[in-house]
């Protein structure tokens, strides 16, 4: 597996590549959810490329950035074991050569749901994804459905800016008890880890979104939202306090809810 640390090195490497390229952008902190994306990229394409870039502009909370569990050495070994052919791992100055003067701004979706609770988050995500797609020039780029609002925004951006890469959505990977895999799960203490799968369970409960939010609050979650959008029920909620606080997001298709009729709460 080739590891490229500078933009110049990457560009020379990319120019020499032939064949279909599948791309998995990541923040690092790789887990089995990323493994599924990398394996899919390797199966669908001649080459699978992974980026490891802990993107500071999408972290509205500096403590969240500082505590993000990513280790370059571990991530490189993990990416290679999943079949990655190359890893792009640039530093912050190389990606933000403009000092983040130029940004992708979207509205209204990026200000709703997670965006309402994480100001600037989606501008950071869309900006870095556009930079990475322009550098990597993949035939296909793979994103998990766990971050469903992110996926919708990236699809919209790709369409709006005539990006040639196909945006491929991949199903959420879960632990045996239903908890959606996330790098942040590593920060849950024993009590938080025991509570966390109840988020997924609550999403599948009958009744309106408000009722589900109330039920989660009673269980001990600090709920940002429960909402029905994109033909899915989505939720974001935190467990714990202070330094130990961990924010979880999840969503399931409406078809997995027991009711017969559903109404989206937004466009």
153: number of CA atoms within 13 Å, CB side?
26
Q: Are 117 and 143 in contact (CB under 8 A)?
A: no
Task: Give min distance, CB of 55 to ligand PAF, in A.
Answer: 4
Residues 190 and 183: their CA atoms lie apart, in Å, by: 16
Task: Give min distance, CB of 218 to ligand PAF, in A.
Answer: 30
Q: Which is nearer to ligand PAF, 143 or 221 (CB)?
A: 143
- Angle of CA points 242, 91, 6, to nearest 5°: 160
Residues 144 to 183 in contact with ligand PAF, rule: CB under 6 A = 147, 150
Residues 55 to 114 in contact with ligand PAF, rule: CB under 6 A = 55, 58
224 part of the interface to ligand PAF, by CB under 6 A:
no
Q: Which is nearer to ligand PAF, 174 or 214 (CB)?
A: 174
Q: Which is nearer to ligand PAF, 27 or 188 (CB)?
A: 27
129 part of the interface to ligand PAF, by CB under 6 A:
yes
- Judged by CB under 6 A, the stretch of 73-81, 125-133, 160-168, 236-244 that binds ligand PAF is 125-133
125 part of the interface to ligand PAF, by CB under 6 A:
yes
Residues 19 to 58 in contact with ligand PAF, rule: CB under 6 A = 25-27, 55, 58
* E strands in 45-191: 47-52, 86-88, 140-144, 166-170
Residues 16 and 225: their CA atoms lie apart, in Å, by: 47
Task: Dig out the tokens for 16 from the structure.
Answer: 């020499």
Residues 248 and 223: their CA atoms lie apart, in Å, by: 10
Task: Give min distance, CB of 220 to ligand PAF, in A.
Answer: 26
Q: Are 85 and 67 in contact (CB under 8 A)?
A: no
Helix (H) / strand (E) containing 193:
helix 190-195
262 catalytic? Reply is no
Give the residues lining the site for ligand PAF (CB under 6 A): 25-27, 55, 58, 125, 128-129, 147, 150
Please identify every residue annotated as catalytic.
34
């Amino acid at each position: 597996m080739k590891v490229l640390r500078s933009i110049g090195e990457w560009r020379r490497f990319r120019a020499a590549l032939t064949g279909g390229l599948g791309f998995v952008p990541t923040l690092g902190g790789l887990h089995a959810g990323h493994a599924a994306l990398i394996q899919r990229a390797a199966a669908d394409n001649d080459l699978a490329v992974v980026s490891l870039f802990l993107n500071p502009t999408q972290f509205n909370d500096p403590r969240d950035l500082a505590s993000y569990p990513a280790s370059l050495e571990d991530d490189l070994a993990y990416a290679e074991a999943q079949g990655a052919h190359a890893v792009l791992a640039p530093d912050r100055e190389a990606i933000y050569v403009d000092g983040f003067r130029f940004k992708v701004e979207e509205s209204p979706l990026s200000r709703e749901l997670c965006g309402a609770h994480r100001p600037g988050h989606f501008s950071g995500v869309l900006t870095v994804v556009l930079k990475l797609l322009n550098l990597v020039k993949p035939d296909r780029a793979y994103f998990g459905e766990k971050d469903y609002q992110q996926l919708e925004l990236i699809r919209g951006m790709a369409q709006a800016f005539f990006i040639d890469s196909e945006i491929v959505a991949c199903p959420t990977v879960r632990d045996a008890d239903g908890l959606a895999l996330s790098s942040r799960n590593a920060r849950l203490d024993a009590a938080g880890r025991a509570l966390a799968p109840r988020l997924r369970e609550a999403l599948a409960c009958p009744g309106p979104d408000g009722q589900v939010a109330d039920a989660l609050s009673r269980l001990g979650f600090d709920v940002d939202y429960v909402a029905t959008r994109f033909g899915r029920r989505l939720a974001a909620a935190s467990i714990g306090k202070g330094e130990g606080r961990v924010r979880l997001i999840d969503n399931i298709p409406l078809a997995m809810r027991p009711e017969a009729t559903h109404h989206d709460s937004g466009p």
